[in-house]
Amino acid sequence: MKTIETQTIKTLGLAALLSACVAAGAEAHVSFLDKEATQESTILATLQVPHGCDGKATTEVRVKLPEGFVFAKPQPKAGWELEVIKGDYQKTYDNHGDKVKTGAVEVRWKNGDLSDDFYDTFVIQGRVSGVEAGTALAFPVTQMCGEAVEAWDQVAKDGGDSHSLKSPAPILKVVAGEDHDHGDMASMDMTGMSAAAPAGEAVKAGDLEISGAFAKAMLPGQPVGGGFFTVKNDGKTDDRLLSVSSPVAGEVQIHEMVTKDNVMRMRQLKDGIAIAAGETVKLEPGNLHLMFQKVKTPFKQGDTVPVTLTFEKAGKIDLVLQVLSAQGK
């Protein structure tokens, strides 16, 4: 039994009924886009939410992660607050030589507004590890629509047909195969891995010096990327990073990741980041970072990403981020 080092809320599951006018063959409940996962592979588990609760808009989606789906990293969604609850694994897993006993056990997208008229997906990257072929991994999910709650958490016994269940949990069937885990799978690392500064000179504008600018490689098809750099204020006057723009993304947001009581939360900093006089501010994985939304072409290792930083005092500064591997190396 997993122990969760924070106050938890009972996960009921996720429900959504599809109207009769939906094309034949479509799922009538929350389900995975890809329903199979290869042993010892890193995957994007993509949950499909067909619509709301009895006509009401979806405001929160909670996903409980089963044992054997480890090193999970959810994909942020514009307009939603992201919360990751960490706890103990039942076993110890190998993560590139590191022995890992704890990790994400539940993911929550909160305070959103997905109209009943629309369809959306919620993505979690993770590794299927230590699971026998033929195993069905169940992901109980909770869909909340204000005070209304829909529960999809039923699992068929002994490999029975889940279609006979009233409220089946989304299932991933594990199949045999070779190791397909690739280091560049993640669009961004939110576990606080150390940032590796790319080669290149620092950019100076007035009292500000910006260095170590890089982005991380993205999986093709992912619309979200992460960017990082360090700002040093050598002056005697405070400044503030107000906004960031880039021709390669529809929007660039400034985000902060904070872990408190073993719960990791991410929020957009609409007022920007203060750069106090004489201080250095570092944007790095697991902390402050840039979030590239609606990326036109996924970032690939070796590419560059141009951005324009707008500061309150220093004004506009053009910067080029070098795209490193997904691990920032």
Closest CA to 221 of 255, 182, 187: 187
Residue among 46, 12, 55 nearest 27 (CA):
46
Question: pLDDT (tens digit, 9 = 90+) per residue, 212-248?
Answer: 999 998 876 677 889 999 999 999 999 999 999 999 9
**Token digits of residue 280:** 């250095």
Q: Among residues 156, 150, 168, which one has the least CA distance to residue 14? A: 150
Report which DSSP code applies to 172.
Answer: E
Strand 315-324 and strand 208-216: the pairing is parallel
Find how far residue 194's CA is from the centre of its chain: 18
pLDDT of 85-129, one tens digit each? 999 999 999 988 889 999 999 999 999 999 999 889 998 989 999
Residue 140's closest CA among 249, 1, 15?
15
Average the pLDDT over 50-56 and give the result: 89
Residue 185 has a pLDDT of 41
Is the fold of 31-175 the same as that of 203-324?
Answer: yes
Q: In whole angstroms, what is the distance from residue 238 CA to residue 315 CA? A: 13
User: Nearest 5°: CA angle at 63, between 58 and 65?
Assistant: 170
Determine the pLDDT at residue 158: 65
Task: Classify domain 203-324 by CATH architecture.
Answer: Sandwich (2.60)
Tokens standing for 33?
């886009």
pLDDT attached to residue 3: 46
Q: 238-278: per-residue pLDDT in tens? A: 999 999 999 999 999 999 988 777 777 888 999 999 999 99
Q: Which is nearest to 301 in space by CA: 197, 182, 190, 216?
A: 216
31-175 fold:
Immunoglobulin-like (2.60.40)
Q: What's the whole-model pTM score?
A: 0.58
Locate the domains of the chain by residue range. 31-175, 203-324
Residue whose tokens read 């929350």: 30
Pairing of strands 273-275, 69-74: unpaired
